[in-house]
Amino acid sequence: MGTSAEDEQGASPREEEWPEVEKAEKLARGAALKWASGVFYRPENLEGLGHYRSRETQRNSSIQSRLKSTVQSYLEGVSAGLEQLRAAVQEVQSVCQELGAARWALLDCADRFQDLQQMRALMAEHVQLASVVQVLPQLFSVHEVFSHTLQLLRGQHLLEAHAEIMMLEHLRDDILSQLHLRGLSSAQATVLAYFGGLQELNESLAKQLWGIVASSLQLVREDPVLFVTAIRIIEREEKIDDMLLLDATFLPPGRPKGWRQKFYHVLQETITGTRFHTPRVDAEGPGLSRHLEALQRDIVSELRVVKDLMVQCVPAHYNILSLCAATYHQALAGHLQDLLREDLDKQALFHLLKWVLHVYHSSEMMGHPDLLPEVDVSSLGPLISPELVDQTERRYVVKLKASVLEWMQRTLKTEFEEWFWEKEPETDHQGFFQSDLPVHVIEMLNSNIEVTSSITDSLQQKVYNMALEELEAFLGRLREALVQRGKEHQQDRTIPKHYVHYLLAMLNNVLALSSSVPTLHPNSSCREVPASLRAALDRTQKKACQLLLEELLLDLQPLCVELASRKWLSGAQLVNTMCEVIDKYAKDFSRVKKPLFKLLLMECELLVANQYLRALMQKKMVCKSKEERRQFCDRLLQDATQLRELFCSLGLDRSQQNLEAVFAVRELLCLKDTALLSLEVLGFVTKYPDVSDEHISTLLDLRGDVSKEVRHLVLEMMAQHPQALPESYQPIFSTILVPAPELPFCLRKGKCA
């Protein structure tokens, strides 16, 4: 136990100093126990215990020998390293001693270095003088070179002149550089003054170069040598600029020249000034069209020269063809904007839009086969912006609208002047009255809509909308003109002679317009007519019908005045005359197309029925006896039957006639038993719900045999059974006014004056 305690006390410091060793030892012992328990688990395995012991003993011996070898080699390496460190320390000490000796030697030689400084200054002065002596011949010949170079420039020997100028510039720049390095900036002004003529030579050379560039398109066709010479000089100067810019120590005056950029600028200015800085272009359509055609022709021709000739005269990196194409594009865009600021007429605006949107990109211009594929303006954007295109389209529509308005006013004036001719209107192959008005109007509008299809769909839609608006306005003016002609005709019914016939022709014209309007739409699958235009067509048709019925009424009124009077009661001549008048008008009405004829016939029948009932309501006579009432009813029956048969013979069915109201009134008047009047009136009111108390009261007065009690009973019954108007009901009585009853005349009490 004591020994164990000592071992624990002895092991404790080692565990604290090397905890990893203790941990490894425990793991090894655990692994060994685990291995031994696994191997000797069975008793028969104990026989191999000696074999296992000897094998492990050998392995331990091998491991120990390898450890000893490793430790020995490590110790030898440490020993060699210590020897090297000792040698290095000795060498460092030796170097320090030698550096100290050198330091003391340098301190002894400091005074001698000051003597050498004077020698160094003399040597620098000698070098400068030697450099000056070398360039003295060149300096003395500067002015002579100036004169010679100027003569070369005047003789257009540009390459030789430029070589002389480069030599002079090199000489000047070398002197200026030396002065700059030695800090002698004050002397630079003297050098610049001495080389002052060099600036004049540069300006003269540049002037000739830019003149050559300005006429480059002509030179490359006639004599490209001069143009190539200018390009070579420009490239020389560009190389000099590049070299000087790389050397950042000194940049001579006038550098960089940037002549390549100047070349681009001059070429662009030449293109812009030659083609687009022209005097004011004619704002009329033909003048602008000629101007655009000239631009098209010249631009294509010049771009072909650039592609075929100029490209061969300049380096590839100039991209001269792309540059010229972009310059033409940009200059043309600005020129077109200037043109659009002018007050162009509609034809000019049309030509400009077509040229910009279609001709410019077509095979006739920038898409010309001779220019493809090198020239591609699609990447340069549109000539004018979509907003400006839309604005120009609107301007065109405004101009076109004014032109259409003027044309329609003139056409309308001509149309109504024909009314005063001594002949009837023209007829078609079926004998219907007509004029050329609808054909001319639709053709004019349709041509304006169709021609814009070659521009854009948006412009075509704008023109279509404008055409419908102007057609609607035209119909309004047409109605006003019809009303005015109607007023003039009422003052003198002999003028115009064929007034009714021209009204009938106008009805056919309106019908033709109605059927032709859908064809104006650009989209054949969409033929809908706007509601406002349909309403305008209906109003115009109704106005012409109204004027015709007014004309008929003027002929019927003298006859209608005699209706329901004692003169009328005595014979049938009055209605016979009415039938003759109606038949005459019906024959005229047959000169309009079927739907209009039917409409006129129905309106005519309604007018006759209305006038007949209106005459009854005037209460021109009151039946004084049963016999007179019978005669009255018989006359009513004969007249209504005769009129009904007339309209039936003209093609109007009984169910469509309003004369049935006259038959109903006759039934009310011929009723023998007044006690049944309430039932009869109730049936009458049910059939004609727009009849009023005044109408019934007037009819009861016509009978002449209705007592106050019966009248009161009938009116009370009507009050108890109010009638609502059905939606499809055609009013007839609501348009007939009943005259106000005459008040009895009374004398005031008192004496007469």
Q: 14-49, pLDDT tens digit by residue?
A: 445 567 778 888 888 888 788 777 777 767 666 777
Reply yes or no on whether the pLDDT at 62 is more than 70.
Answer: yes
Instruction: Write down the pLDDT at residue 140.
Output: 56
Alpha carbon 367 to chain centroid, angstroms: 24
Pick the closest to residue 338 from 417, 272, 240 (CA basis): 272
The pLDDT score that the predictor gives to residue 6 is 42
Question: Can you tell me the distance from the alpha carbon of 479 to that of 305, in angstroms, rounded to the nearest whole number?
Answer: 64
Other beta carbons within 10 angstroms of residue 56's beta carbon come to: 11
Query: Could you give the CA distance from residue 418 to residue 411 in angstroms, rounded to a whole number?
Result: 11
CB 722 within 8 A of CB 643: no
What stretches of 277-383 show up as alpha helix (H) in DSSP?
285-308, 320-340, 346-354
What are the backbone dihedrals phi and psi of residue 434, each rounded to the nearest 5 degrees, phi first? -165, 175
| The 3-state secondary structure of 675-701, one letter per residue | HHHHHHHHHHHHHCCCCCHHHHHHHHH
- pLDDT beyond 70 at 2: no
pLDDT at residue 742, as a whole number: 57
Confidence of residue 691 (pLDDT cuts 50, 70, 90): very high
**C-alpha to C-alpha distance for 531 and 64, rounded to whole angstroms:** 115
Mean pLDDT lowest for which of 235-249, 414-428, 524-538? 235-249
Instruction: Assess contact for 714 and 681: CB atoms under 8 A.
Output: yes
Q: What is the pTM of this model?
A: 0.72
CA distance 482 to 474: 12
Q: What is the pLDDT, as a whole number, of residue 132?
A: 59
Q: If you average pLDDT over every residue of the chain, what do you get? A: 85
Looking at beta carbons, which pairs linking 328-333 to residues 24 or more positions away fall under 8 Å?
A: 328/271, 328/275, 328/299, 328/302, 328/303, 329/377, 329/380, 329/383, 330/380, 331/268, 331/271, 331/272, 331/275, 331/276, 332/276, 332/295, 332/299, 332/360, 332/383, 333/383, 333/384
Q: Closest Cα to residue 585, out of 615, 563, 553? A: 553
The pLDDT tens digits of the residues spanning 290-305 come to 889 988 999 999 999 9
Q: Burial code of 99-125, b = ≥16 C-beta within 10 A, e = fewer?
A: eeeeeeeeeeeeeeeeeeeeeeeeeee
What is the average per-residue pLDDT within 492-517? 92
Q: Counting every residue, how long is the chain?
A: 753
Query: Does pLDDT of 532 surpass 80?
Result: yes
Q: What percent of the chain has pLDDT over 70?
A: 89
Report CA-CA distances (Å) from 677 to 680, 683, 706, 712, 713.
5, 10, 9, 11, 9
507 pLDDT exceeds 80? Answer: yes
> Which of left, alpha, beta for 239 (phi over 0: left; psi -120 to 50: alpha)?
alpha
With a CB cutoff of 8 Å and minimum separation 6, the contacts of 245 are 251, 256
The model's pLDDT over 204-249, given as tens digits with 9 standing for 90+, comes to 888 989 999 998 888 898 888 989 999 999 999 889 888 888 876 7
State whether the Cα torsion 734-735-739-740 is positive or negative: positive
Average pLDDT over every residue of 110-128: 68
Confidence of residue 141 (pLDDT cuts 50, 70, 90): low
* One-letter amino acid of 106: L
Is pLDDT of 612 > 60? Answer: yes
Please give the span between the terminal C-alpha atoms of the chain, in angstroms, as a whole number.
177
Residue 311 tokens read as 């490209």
More confidently predicted of 391 and 41:
391
pLDDT of 399 > 70? The answer is: yes
Highest mean pLDDT among 16-25, 46-55, 461-470: 461-470
SS3 label, residue 490: helix
Indicate the pLDDT class of residue 66, thresholds 50, 70 and 90.
confident
Nearest-angstrom CA–CA distance, 299 and 704: 101
- For residue 134, is pLDDT > 50? yes
Alpha-carbon gap, residue 732 to 605, rounded angstroms: 11
Tell me how far apart the alpha carbons of residues 401 and 397 are, in angstroms, rounded to a whole number. 6
Assigned token pair, 125 = 């002065």
Q: How many CB atoms lie within 10 A of CB 72?
A: 10
**Helix, strand counts (H, E) of the chain:** 26, 2
Task: Give residue 752's pLDDT.
Answer: 41
Q: Residues near 491 by Cβ (< 8 Å), separated by ≥ 6?
A: none
Q: Which residue has the tokens 């009895």?
A: 744
**Tokens 């200018």 belong to residue:** 230
Helices 197-214, 142-154: crossing angle, 10 deg rounding: 20
Contacts of 361 (CB under 8 A, 6+ apart): 367, 377, 378
Closest CA relative to residue 555, chosen from 602, 504, 500? 500
Specify the range with the lowest mean pLDDT, choosing from 148-157, 191-200, 371-380.
191-200
Residues 595/650, Cβ–Cβ less than 8 Å: no
CA 425/CA 439 separation, integer angstroms: 15
Contact 536, 472 (CB under 8 A): yes
Q: Hey, what amino acid is at 172?
A: R
Q: Tell me: the pLDDT tens digits for 631-643? A: 999 999 999 999 9
Identify the CA nearest to 689 among candidates 662, 718, 716.
Answer: 718
**DSSP label at 434?**
E
User: Contact, 710 vs 675, CB < 8 A?
Assistant: yes
What are the tens digits of pLDDT across the range 293-349?
Answer: 988 999 999 999 999 999 999 999 989 999 999 999 999 999 999 889 888 889 999
- pLDDT tens-digit map of 159-214: 888 888 888 777 777 777 777 767 666 666 776 777 777 788 888 888 989 999 99
Residue 248 has a pLDDT of: 64
Using DSSP, state whether 433 is helix, strand or coil. Answer: strand
| 604, pLDDT greater than 70 | yes
User: Does residue 651 come out as left (phi exceeding 0), alpha (psi in the -120 to 50 range) or beta?
Assistant: left
Q: Which residues contact 424 (CB under 8 A, 6 or more apart)?
A: 433, 498, 501
DSSP 8-state secondary structure symbol assigned to residue 731: -
Q: What is the mean pLDDT of residues 381-397?
A: 93
pLDDT score recorded for residue 130: 61
Lowest-confidence region among 89-103, 112-126, 165-179, 557-571 = 112-126
Query: Residue 9 CA to chain centroid, in angstroms?
Result: 102
**Spatial distance between the Cα atoms of 420 and 497, rounded to a whole number of angstroms:** 7
Model pLDDT, residue 250: 74
Task: Tell me how far apart the alpha carbons of residues 519 and 517 are, in angstroms, rounded to a whole number.
Answer: 5
Report cis status (omega within 30 of 0) of the bond before 595.
no
